[in-house]
Each structure stands twice: as C-alpha cells, then as structure tokens.
C-alpha cells in the first residue's frame, strides 16, 4: 500500500501588474462600486436627497435672516453648499471602504490575481464619479430655485474640476480613518467630527466677517474658506486666482500627508 501525500493549497497572492493591467482592474472595480446602486437604489437617493435637503433648509430657513432675502442668500450659499456636500461625501468613501474590509470583501479580492492597489483606487474613482453627479444635481436644483451662474460655462466646468480635485485630495484623510477604524459607526463618528467644524467655521455658508475676531482669523486660514471663495468666484464672479491657488496648495498638502499614510495602512490591513 502506498501512502498518498497531499499538500495544503497555497493562497493566491496579487500578481505584479503592469500599468495598463492595473488601470483596467481599477476601472473594473470602480464599475463594481457604481453598479451596486442598481441593487441598492437607496444609495443614490441618499446621495441625492441630502444635498437638496441642505439647500432647501439653509435657503428658506436661514436665508432671510442672513442676507435679507432667500434669493440673495441662494446666490451666496449654493457654492458653499457644493463644497460642504463634496467634503461630507468623502465620508462615504471611508464608510464604504471600512464596510468592504470588515465584511471580508477585500479578503476575497486579495485572493484574485489583481493589483493590490486596484480595490482602493477603484473605490476612490467610483466615489469621484458620484461627486460629479451630486454637483450636477445640486446646481440643477439650485437653478430651479433661482440660482444663476453669472460667469460662463467655462467657470462652471472649472468649479467642478476644482471641487473634484480638492475633494479627491482630502478624501485620503477619510480613507485613512476608514482603514484605521474598527467599524463603520466609528468611521462616521470620527470623520464627521472633523468635517463638521471645518465646514461650519468657514465662509461656505456665511460671510466670515460676521465671526468674532478669533474665529475670523481661523476662517481666513481654513482650507474650506478658500475653496468656497474659489467656487463662488468661478460661478458668480469675484476673485478666483488667489483662492484657487491656495486651495490647490492645500489639496497638495493633504495628499502629501495622508496618501502615504493611507496606502501604508491599506497594505497592513489587507
């Protein structure tokens, strides 16, 4: 009688993929994140209802008190609401990423012969596409309420491009939180606690000149203030060059600090 020897199966590790293969795999996984909306329409509704709710709330509840009329406040506030919505939506990237990790989705993807960074890059690209949808929806609904782009189509597209670039850079901070937190609830608590003060102590929703002196000083430094001023200038007129440059410098700083930390956390977590 001969003994039969067996060997334990070895885990499949991610192969070294070239740039083109990595791009294809990243886009495939980005499409995976987008097509989930078909099976979970509430995700699209959440992405659509929340910005509209904020727009209606701030315009018709606070608009008269802040600007004297809802129409004037709508012109001022909608660019700021675009910024607020874009930054808040980076929380979705963190929560979705944490959910995929805690539910073992990334473990299954890791067993496939794909580039190791493709799942993370795919998630970020998919959420960037959702940012474009939210921008178009909020501007379109704002126009129904009476908002008018007072510059040009180039200004509108420039505002979208700037918003996506800065939100993408700042999303690395949310990605790091999503990778470090133990569950989606903690992700939401930590990330929301950071984003809320940033947006509400800026000139996104009210002129910073109305703040107390110490808070106005902080608002003048706040990256959200510069981004809101740049978007406002691109959409309704005003200074564009300086706030845009400062916003891009902040974006580069966020990416330089948080992207390496997030990638390192991703590699150690998955």
Task: Identify the domain containing residue 116 by its residue range.
Answer: 54-269
Q: Is residue 31 part of a domain?
A: no
Number of folded domains in the chain?
A: 1
What are the residues whose beta carbons fall under 8 Å from the beta carbon of 160, sequence distance 6 or more?
Answer: 132, 135
Q: Is residue 18 part of a domain?
A: no
Q: Is residue 17 part of a domain?
A: no
Q: Is residue 170 part of a domain?
A: yes
The pTM of this model reads 0.84
Please name the residue ranges forming H helices in the chain: 19-39, 41-57, 63-67, 70-102, 105-110, 118-145, 153-180, 184-200, 213-221, 223-236, 241-269
Q: Is residue 181 part of a domain?
A: yes
Q: Is residue 117 part of a domain?
A: yes
Q: Is residue 140 part of a domain?
A: yes
pLDDT tens track, the chain, 270 positions? 444 444 444 444 445 567 787 778 778 878 877 777 777 766 677 677 888 988 999 999 988 888 888 989 999 999 999 999 898 888 888 888 888 778 777 667 666 677 777 777 888 888 888 888 889 999 999 999 999 999 999 999 999 999 999 998 988 888 888 888 888 888 888 888 888 888 999 999 998 888 999 999 999 999 999 999 999 999 999 899 999 999 999 999 999 999 899 888 887 766
Q: Is residue 194 part of a domain?
A: yes
Nearest alpha carbon to residue 82 among 149, 34, 36? 149
């Amino acid at each position: 009688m001969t003994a039969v020897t067996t060997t334990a199966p070895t885990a499949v590790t991610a192969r070294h993929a070239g740039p083109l293969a990595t791009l294809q795999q990243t886009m495939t996984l980005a499409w995976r994140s987008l097509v989930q909306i078909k099976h979970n329409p509430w995700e699209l509704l959440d992405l659509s209802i929340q910005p509209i709710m904020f727009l209606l709330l701030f315009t018709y509840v606070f608009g008269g008190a802040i600007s004297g009329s809802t129409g004037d406040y709508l012109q001022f506030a909608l660019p700021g609401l675009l910024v607020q919505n874009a930054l808040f939506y980076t929380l979705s990237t963190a929560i979705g990423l944490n959910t995929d990790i805690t539910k073992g989705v990334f473990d299954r993807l890791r067993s496939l012969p794909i580039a190791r960074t493709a799942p993370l890059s795919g998630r970020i690209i998919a959420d960037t596409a959702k940012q474009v949808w939210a921008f178009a929806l909020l501007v379109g609904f704002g126009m129904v309420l009476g908002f008018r782009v007072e510059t040009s189509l180039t200004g509108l597209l420039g505002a979208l491009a700037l918003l996506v670039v800065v939100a993408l850079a700042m999303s690395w901070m949310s990605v790091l939180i999503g990778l470090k937190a133990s569950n989606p609830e903690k992700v939401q608590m930590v990330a929301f606690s950071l984003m809320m003060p940033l947006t509400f102590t800026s000139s996104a929703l009210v002129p910073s000149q109305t703040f107390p002196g110490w808070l106005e000083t902080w608002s003048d430094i706040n990256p959200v203030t510069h981004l809101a001023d740049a978007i406002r200038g691109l959409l309704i007129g005003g200074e564009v060059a300086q706030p845009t440059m400062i916003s891009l410098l902040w974006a580069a700083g966020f990416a330089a600090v948080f992207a390496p930390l997030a990638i390192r956390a991703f590699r150690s977590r998955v």
